[in-house]
Amino acid sequence: MRLDTAARPGLEGGRFFLVDHLPTYAAALFVLTLVWAGAPGSPPDFDRAWRTAAGLGTGEVLLVALAVTLGATLGHPLQLAVVRLLEGGWPRWTTPVARASRARQLRRRALLAERAELPEDADMEPSNAEIQAAGLAGTRLRRGFPPAELVRPTSLGNVLAAMEWQAGEPYGLDAVVAWPRLYPVLGETTRAIVTDRRNTLDGAARLSVTMAATAGTSAALLLPSAGWWACLALLPLAVARVAYVGAVRAALAYSEGVRTAFDLHRFDMLTALHLPLPEGPEAERALNRELSSAWRQATPTTSRYDHPTTPQDPERPPA
């Protein structure tokens, strides 16, 4: 189980429009415009496309809208697969590409790790500029990459892997197994921030994959006879690239929200589990390691329970 599989937002209106409907609508509009313009078979005539669109009857418009909504709804269960794809979860036949991409990510990680180290010249104190540059590189390294053995082939995959590795680590929690228990007890403000950032990440990821597929479809429509018009397929491809960069940025913000959720609400999770609050950091880490092992491997726990007492009803005699 992965952290992003737990407590995912449902099919509510705002999320459905941002994540599912808007990318599907944009893709359908682009492809339909090319078809109405004469593709495949002839170079696009956009005056013809405009006349075709203007001549649509009410029933035809409703049919197109229904088809787009149906496509968006059917695509909703595939959202997790979309994020997995952008994380680097590619088919087995792409293994050589995945290895080359992962090697590139490892080189980027090594470069950041090198920049995060201060000069070791014993005769000179590092300047403020060197300290700031090293600190910035260290921050980018921690937020953007997990340990080397967990590095994935894509930037998005590495940001999310770093989140899963680091979110609960200072407290001895395995974030992947702790998150389904933590999410239900989040405060209203924290939950809204985490959910909003997750929706932004999912929307950008869906737009990226949808526009990449649209670029392929457009190329298939335009290449046979459209000549230089086939370059129109580069437009959705450019949108796909920009959306992917946006997904990486959104993942960084989402990661920060998840880390903050662990910082602020981990004790609320223990209270909800009827477990005593630890007296110090070491006791907390020991308890959380035991809980993480129990959730991950179904091992028994030895923690005693701490049941809250119910105030006695003054009009009711004690039992």
pLDDT digits over 125-173, tens only?
Answer: 878 888 898 899 999 999 999 999 999 999 999 999 999 999 999 999 9
Distance between CA atoms of residues 193 and 177, nearest Å: 21
Angle at 235 between CA 230 and CA 240, to 5 degrees: 130
Instruction: Look at the pTM and tell me if it is higher than 0.75.
Output: yes
In this model, does residue 308 exceed pLDDT 80?
no
Structural tokens at position 288: 């959380």
Phi, psi of 104 (to 5 degrees): -65, -40
Radius of gyration of the chain (CA): 26
Cβ neighbours of residue 158 under 8 Å, at least 6 residues apart?
105, 109, 144, 145, 146, 151, 152
What is the pLDDT at residue 2? 60
pLDDT tens across 24-70, in order? Answer: 999 999 999 999 998 888 888 899 999 999 998 999 999 999 999 99
42-51, 219-228, 245-254, 305-314: range with highest mean pLDDT: 245-254
